[in-house]
Amino acid sequence: MSRVVRALMGLVLIISCAFFSVQPQAQALDLSRGFVSAAVLGERVNPADQVLETEYGKKIDLNNANVRLFREVRGFYPTLAKLIVNNGPYESVEDVLNIPDLSESQVAKLQANLDRFTVTPPSDVFLDGDERLNNGNY
């Protein structure tokens, strides 16, 4: 009896392997039919892009820039940049000269580069979270 069961199980195994091992070929999906393009009713606007199109995109904004942007100015990154970021917001570019505990060399660097800075109202787009000190770009 056990030989019959063993032979029957072997036959079932061979038949199932023969029938179920064949896989159908993959067919490409035709994406040209069935889709209708909808009219664009509105355009998504990124608030950061709107701000970057202003003077902020060309100069370093003292109220909205993070510490890493000050790498463009020689001698500012990281110490002087951190002082500028931590003591904002500023009403005018010249207010940066009133930061307490600035050394004479730091004041000289600031005065020499005042034309590279601008001041705009603080924007949540750039100030959300603690990204002004560490924005995670490594």
User: Residue 110: pLDDT above 90?
Assistant: yes
117 assigned to some structural domain:
yes
Domain for residue 83, yes or no?
yes
Closest CA to 121 of 52, 59, 61, 49: 61
Expressed as residue numbers, the domain containing 97 is 47-127
Q: What is the pLDDT of residue 102?
A: 92
Residue indicated by tokens 């600031």: 110
SS3 helix, strand, coil % of the chain, rounded to 5? Answer: 45, 5, 50
Which stretches does DSSP call E strand in 23-134?
60-61, 117-118
Q: What is the pLDDT of residues 46-73, one digit of tens each?
A: 666 666 666 556 788 888 888 888 888 9
Judge whether 17 lies within some domain: no
Of 25-29, 94-98, 111-115, the range with the lowest mean pLDDT is 25-29
Residue with tokens 């004041």: 107
Any domain includes 72: yes
Phi, psi for residue 117 in degrees, rounded to 5? -115, 160
Residue 25: inside a domain? no
**Is the predicted pLDDT of residue 107 greater than 60, yes or no?**
yes
pLDDT at 69: 85
The reply to whether 76 falls in a domain is yes
Q: Which helix (H) or strand (E) holds 50?
A: helix 47-52
Q: What is the CATH number of the domain that holds 101?
A: 1.10.150.320
Residue 133: inside a domain, yes or no?
no
What the block records as the tokens of 124 is 């949540």
Answer whether residue 2 is part of any domain.
Answer: no
- β strands within the chain, DSSP E: 60-61, 117-118
pLDDT band at residue 14 under the 50/70/90 scheme:
confident
Total domains, the chain: 1
Mean pLDDT of the chain: 78
Task: Give burial (CB, 10 Å; 0-12/13-18/19+) of 117.
Answer: buried
The whole-angstrom separation of Cα 58 and Cα 80 is 20
Structure tokens, 34: 């069935």
Mean pLDDT computed over 20-40: 65
